[in-house]
Amino acid sequence: MGWVVPQEPSGVQSVVRAFRVLEALADAPGDATVADVASRAELAPSTTHRLLATLTSLGYARQTDDRRYALGPALITLGSRATPQAAVIAGPVLEELERATEETANLAVLDGDLVAYVAQRASRHHMRMFTEAGRRVLPHASGVGKAILATLPQQRVTELVRRTGMPRFTDSTLTTESALLTDLRASRRRGFTIDDGEQEVGVRCIAVAVPGAPVPTAVSISGPAARISDASLPAAVEALATAAARLSELLGASPSRA
Protein backbone atom coordinates (compact mmCIF):
# COMPACT_ATOMS: atom_id res chain seq x y z
CA MET A 1 0.00 0.00 0.00
CA GLY A 2 1.12 3.59 -0.56
CA TRP A 3 1.23 6.53 1.75
CA VAL A 4 -1.89 7.90 3.34
CA VAL A 5 -1.45 11.55 2.46
CA PRO A 6 -2.96 14.01 4.94
CA GLN A 7 -5.00 16.93 3.73
CA GLU A 8 -2.42 19.66 3.18
CA PRO A 9 -2.26 22.89 1.23
CA SER A 10 -1.80 22.13 -2.47
CA GLY A 11 1.85 23.25 -2.48
CA VAL A 12 2.77 20.90 0.36
CA GLN A 13 0.84 18.07 -1.25
CA SER A 14 2.78 18.58 -4.47
CA VAL A 15 6.05 18.19 -2.57
CA VAL A 16 4.82 14.99 -0.95
CA ARG A 17 3.72 13.64 -4.32
CA ALA A 18 7.05 14.54 -5.93
CA PHE A 19 8.90 12.54 -3.31
CA ARG A 20 6.51 9.63 -3.79
CA VAL A 21 7.40 9.70 -7.48
CA LEU A 22 11.13 9.72 -6.65
CA GLU A 23 10.69 6.80 -4.25
CA ALA A 24 8.71 4.92 -6.87
CA LEU A 25 11.57 5.41 -9.33
CA ALA A 26 14.06 4.23 -6.70
CA ASP A 27 12.00 1.11 -5.96
CA ALA A 28 11.51 0.19 -9.62
CA PRO A 29 13.69 -2.73 -10.76
CA GLY A 30 14.82 -0.71 -13.80
CA ASP A 31 13.70 2.20 -15.94
CA ALA A 32 9.96 2.74 -15.48
CA THR A 33 7.08 3.95 -17.62
CA VAL A 34 4.72 6.68 -16.46
CA ALA A 35 2.12 3.98 -15.77
CA ASP A 36 4.63 2.00 -13.68
CA VAL A 37 5.50 5.04 -11.59
CA ALA A 38 1.87 6.06 -11.20
CA SER A 39 0.96 2.60 -9.96
CA ARG A 40 3.83 2.45 -7.47
CA ALA A 41 3.19 5.99 -6.19
CA GLU A 42 -0.61 5.51 -6.23
CA LEU A 43 -1.13 8.68 -8.23
CA ALA A 44 -3.10 9.48 -11.37
CA PRO A 45 -1.05 9.02 -14.56
CA SER A 46 -1.65 12.65 -15.54
CA THR A 47 -0.36 13.89 -12.18
CA THR A 48 2.61 11.54 -12.40
CA HIS A 49 3.46 12.75 -15.90
CA ARG A 50 3.45 16.40 -14.80
CA LEU A 51 5.65 15.66 -11.78
CA LEU A 52 8.07 13.62 -13.87
CA ALA A 53 8.34 16.45 -16.39
CA THR A 54 9.20 18.91 -13.61
CA LEU A 55 11.66 16.55 -11.92
CA THR A 56 13.32 15.84 -15.28
CA SER A 57 13.72 19.54 -16.02
CA LEU A 58 15.47 19.93 -12.65
CA GLY A 59 17.71 16.91 -13.18
CA TYR A 60 16.19 14.80 -10.40
CA ALA A 61 14.73 12.39 -12.95
CA ARG A 62 15.78 11.57 -16.49
CA GLN A 63 13.96 10.24 -19.54
CA THR A 64 15.45 7.42 -21.58
CA ASP A 65 15.33 7.09 -25.34
CA ASP A 66 12.33 4.74 -25.11
CA ARG A 67 10.38 7.29 -23.03
CA ARG A 68 10.91 5.55 -19.71
CA TYR A 69 12.11 7.29 -16.57
CA ALA A 70 14.85 6.80 -14.02
CA LEU A 71 16.46 8.74 -11.17
CA GLY A 72 18.46 11.73 -12.37
CA PRO A 73 22.07 12.84 -11.76
CA ALA A 74 21.08 15.86 -9.62
CA LEU A 75 20.28 13.43 -6.81
CA ILE A 76 23.95 12.43 -6.67
CA THR A 77 24.89 16.00 -5.77
CA LEU A 78 22.27 16.12 -3.03
CA GLY A 79 23.42 12.78 -1.69
CA SER A 80 27.08 13.81 -1.62
CA ARG A 81 26.17 16.94 0.33
CA ALA A 82 24.03 14.97 2.79
CA THR A 83 26.67 12.30 3.45
CA PRO A 84 29.00 14.43 5.64
CA GLN A 85 26.01 15.51 7.74
CA ALA A 86 24.99 11.87 8.17
CA ALA A 87 28.51 11.09 9.35
CA VAL A 88 28.32 13.84 11.98
CA ILE A 89 24.91 12.70 13.18
CA ALA A 90 26.02 9.07 13.38
CA GLY A 91 29.26 9.79 15.23
CA PRO A 92 28.03 9.37 18.81
CA VAL A 93 26.15 6.18 17.94
CA LEU A 94 29.23 4.65 16.34
CA GLU A 95 31.31 5.64 19.36
CA GLU A 96 28.87 3.88 21.67
CA LEU A 97 28.86 0.83 19.40
CA GLU A 98 32.66 0.69 19.49
CA ARG A 99 32.62 0.95 23.29
CA ALA A 100 30.04 -1.83 23.56
CA THR A 101 31.84 -4.25 21.22
CA GLU A 102 35.44 -2.99 21.30
CA GLU A 103 35.51 -3.44 17.52
CA THR A 104 35.59 -0.93 14.66
CA ALA A 105 32.11 0.48 13.97
CA ASN A 106 31.11 1.46 10.43
CA LEU A 107 28.25 3.24 8.69
CA ALA A 108 27.68 2.68 4.96
CA VAL A 109 25.09 3.62 2.34
CA LEU A 110 24.11 2.38 -1.11
CA ASP A 111 25.74 4.68 -3.67
CA GLY A 112 24.54 3.69 -7.11
CA ASP A 113 25.51 0.04 -7.50
CA LEU A 114 28.25 0.22 -4.85
CA VAL A 115 28.34 0.64 -1.09
CA ALA A 116 30.11 3.71 0.30
CA TYR A 117 31.52 3.93 3.81
CA VAL A 118 30.53 7.31 5.23
CA ALA A 119 31.68 7.11 8.86
CA GLN A 120 33.78 4.94 11.14
CA ARG A 121 34.96 4.71 14.73
CA ALA A 122 38.15 2.66 15.02
CA SER A 123 38.54 -0.07 17.62
CA ARG A 124 40.66 0.58 20.68
CA HIS A 125 42.67 -2.58 19.97
CA HIS A 126 46.10 -2.29 18.37
CA MET A 127 45.05 -4.89 15.79
CA ARG A 128 41.98 -3.33 14.21
CA MET A 129 40.22 -2.78 10.92
CA PHE A 130 40.29 0.57 9.16
CA THR A 131 38.33 1.73 6.12
CA GLU A 132 38.60 5.34 5.05
CA ALA A 133 35.37 7.32 4.70
CA GLY A 134 34.37 7.53 1.07
CA ARG A 135 35.67 4.09 0.11
CA ARG A 136 33.25 2.27 -2.18
CA VAL A 137 33.05 -1.51 -2.36
CA LEU A 138 31.06 -4.14 -4.20
CA PRO A 139 28.08 -5.14 -2.04
CA HIS A 140 28.20 -8.91 -2.59
CA ALA A 141 31.41 -9.32 -0.57
CA SER A 142 30.89 -7.03 2.42
CA GLY A 143 28.77 -7.26 5.55
CA VAL A 144 27.25 -3.80 5.10
CA GLY A 145 26.67 -4.49 1.42
CA LYS A 146 24.81 -7.71 2.06
CA ALA A 147 22.79 -6.07 4.86
CA ILE A 148 21.68 -3.43 2.37
CA LEU A 149 20.98 -5.96 -0.38
CA ALA A 150 18.82 -7.94 2.05
CA THR A 151 16.43 -4.97 2.22
CA LEU A 152 15.96 -4.78 -1.57
CA PRO A 153 13.58 -6.73 -3.83
CA GLN A 154 15.21 -9.83 -5.32
CA GLN A 155 14.91 -8.54 -8.88
CA ARG A 156 16.74 -5.36 -7.97
CA VAL A 157 19.49 -7.40 -6.29
CA THR A 158 20.00 -9.64 -9.31
CA GLU A 159 20.03 -6.72 -11.73
CA LEU A 160 22.54 -4.88 -9.55
CA VAL A 161 25.01 -7.77 -9.26
CA ARG A 162 24.71 -8.52 -12.97
CA ARG A 163 25.86 -4.96 -13.63
CA THR A 164 28.71 -5.06 -11.12
CA GLY A 165 29.75 -8.67 -11.46
CA MET A 166 30.67 -10.82 -8.49
CA PRO A 167 34.47 -11.09 -8.50
CA ARG A 168 36.25 -13.38 -6.05
CA PHE A 169 38.39 -11.70 -3.38
CA THR A 170 39.03 -14.74 -1.19
CA ASP A 171 38.10 -18.41 -1.19
CA SER A 172 35.03 -17.46 0.90
CA THR A 173 33.62 -14.84 -1.50
CA LEU A 174 30.14 -15.57 -2.84
CA THR A 175 30.47 -15.51 -6.63
CA THR A 176 27.08 -16.76 -7.87
CA GLU A 177 23.64 -15.22 -7.71
CA SER A 178 22.14 -18.36 -6.19
CA ALA A 179 24.70 -18.42 -3.37
CA LEU A 180 24.16 -14.73 -2.66
CA LEU A 181 20.36 -15.00 -2.66
CA THR A 182 20.53 -17.99 -0.31
CA ASP A 183 22.79 -15.99 2.01
CA LEU A 184 20.43 -13.00 1.91
CA ARG A 185 17.43 -15.17 2.79
CA ALA A 186 19.31 -16.57 5.79
CA SER A 187 20.31 -13.04 6.79
CA ARG A 188 16.71 -11.83 6.73
CA ARG A 189 15.64 -14.72 8.96
CA ARG A 190 18.30 -14.11 11.58
CA GLY A 191 18.27 -10.30 11.34
CA PHE A 192 21.93 -9.67 10.50
CA THR A 193 24.56 -10.43 7.85
CA ILE A 194 28.04 -11.87 8.14
CA ASP A 195 31.08 -11.22 5.99
CA ASP A 196 33.20 -14.18 7.07
CA GLY A 197 36.50 -13.46 5.34
CA GLU A 198 34.73 -12.77 2.05
CA GLN A 199 36.41 -9.41 1.44
CA GLU A 200 39.68 -10.04 3.28
CA VAL A 201 41.08 -13.24 4.78
CA GLY A 202 40.90 -13.33 8.57
CA VAL A 203 38.48 -10.41 8.87
CA ARG A 204 34.91 -10.82 10.07
CA CYS A 205 32.14 -8.25 9.80
CA ILE A 206 28.66 -8.35 11.33
CA ALA A 207 26.12 -5.89 9.91
CA VAL A 208 22.52 -4.78 10.40
CA ALA A 209 20.40 -2.61 8.10
CA VAL A 210 19.17 0.74 9.43
CA PRO A 211 15.37 0.56 9.13
CA GLY A 212 13.62 3.36 7.31
CA ALA A 213 16.78 5.33 6.49
CA PRO A 214 16.46 7.92 3.69
CA VAL A 215 18.76 5.78 1.52
CA PRO A 216 19.59 2.08 2.05
CA THR A 217 22.00 2.13 5.00
CA ALA A 218 23.74 -0.38 7.23
CA VAL A 219 25.82 -0.31 10.39
CA SER A 220 28.48 -2.88 11.19
CA ILE A 221 31.39 -3.92 13.34
CA SER A 222 34.54 -5.41 11.86
CA GLY A 223 37.63 -7.02 13.29
CA PRO A 224 39.79 -10.14 13.36
CA ALA A 225 37.78 -13.34 13.08
CA ALA A 226 39.51 -14.63 16.21
CA ARG A 227 37.88 -11.84 18.26
CA ILE A 228 34.48 -11.74 16.56
CA SER A 229 33.74 -15.36 17.36
CA ASP A 230 30.43 -17.24 17.29
CA ALA A 231 30.36 -16.96 21.08
CA SER A 232 30.44 -13.17 20.89
CA LEU A 233 27.73 -12.92 18.20
CA PRO A 234 24.64 -12.53 20.44
CA ALA A 235 26.08 -9.54 22.31
CA ALA A 236 27.40 -8.00 19.08
CA VAL A 237 24.06 -8.37 17.30
CA GLU A 238 22.23 -6.85 20.27
CA ALA A 239 24.57 -3.83 20.22
CA LEU A 240 24.16 -3.49 16.45
CA ALA A 241 20.36 -3.65 16.68
CA THR A 242 20.39 -0.91 19.31
CA ALA A 243 22.67 1.22 17.13
CA ALA A 244 20.51 0.65 14.04
CA ALA A 245 17.34 1.69 15.87
CA ARG A 246 19.01 4.85 17.15
CA LEU A 247 20.41 5.69 13.73
CA SER A 248 16.96 5.21 12.23
CA GLU A 249 15.66 7.93 14.55
CA LEU A 250 18.57 10.30 14.03
CA LEU A 251 18.85 9.97 10.27
CA GLY A 252 15.13 10.50 9.82
CA ALA A 253 13.20 7.34 9.06
CA SER A 254 10.83 7.68 6.15
CA PRO A 255 7.11 8.04 6.92
CA SER A 256 5.38 4.75 7.59
CA ARG A 257 3.34 3.26 4.81
CA ALA A 258 -0.22 2.18 5.33
**Radius of gyration over alpha carbons of the chain, in Å?**
19
Q: What is the pLDDT of residue 90?
A: 87
SS (H, E, C) 33-73: CHHHHHHHHCCCHHHHHHHHHHHHHHCCEEECCCCCEEECC
Average pLDDT in the chain? 86
Provide mean pLDDT across the span 57-75: 89
Provide mean pLDDT across the span 124-138: 67
Q: How far is CA 85 from the centre of its chain?
A: 16
Q: What is the pLDDT of residue 254?
A: 42
Q: What is the pLDDT of residue 73?
A: 82
Q: What is the pLDDT of residue 13?
A: 85
Q: What is the pLDDT of residue 198?
A: 93
Domains along the sequence of the chain with CATH:
10-72 (1.10.10.10), 76-251 (3.30.450.40)
pLDDT at 185 over 60: yes
Q: What is the pLDDT of residue 126?
A: 57
Q: Which of 12-16, 41-45, 126-130, 149-153 has the lowest mean pLDDT?
A: 126-130
pLDDT at 8 over 70: no
> What's the CA gap between 248 and 86, in Å, rounded?
11
Provide mean pLDDT across the span 120-133: 66
> What's the CA gap between 35 and 16, in Å, rounded?
19
pLDDT digits (tens, 9 = 90+) for 76-125: 767 666 666 777 888 899 999 999 998 999 999 998 889 988 888 877 76
